[in-house]
Amino acid sequence: MSKMDNLRAMREARYEAAQKLAKSAPAKPAAPDRPTSAPQPAATAAEALCGHRNMSGRTCTREHGHAAKSHRYS
């Protein structure tokens, strides 16, 4: 048996042991890797703003649907 085969056999044995352990362990709710329903403050803030862009690429910082006739780029 070569060294590589030996290593592979060890890895497989460890994998099988882990599988058995997982099967015998009581089921617990799987935790998601990352929250999918996390709030996205950037998108929410953008929605609350007018969002009109002027010629130099700046975005209007007034609220969405503002009554003022002019846009504000501050």
Give the binding site for Zn ion (CB under 5 A): 50, 52, 60, 62, 71
Helix, strand, or coil (residue 4): helix
Nearer to Zn ion, 18 or 46 (CB): 46
Specify burial of residue 73 (Cβ count, 10 A radius: 0-12, 13-18, 19+): middle
- CB-wise, 26 or 71, nearer to Zn ion? 71
Rounded to the nearest whole angstrom, what is the least distance from the CB of residue 28 to Zn ion in the complex?
51
Please state, in angstroms and rounded to a whole number, the distance separating the CA atoms of residues 74 and 64: 15
Report the residue number, 26 or 65, with the smaller CB distance to Zn ion: 65
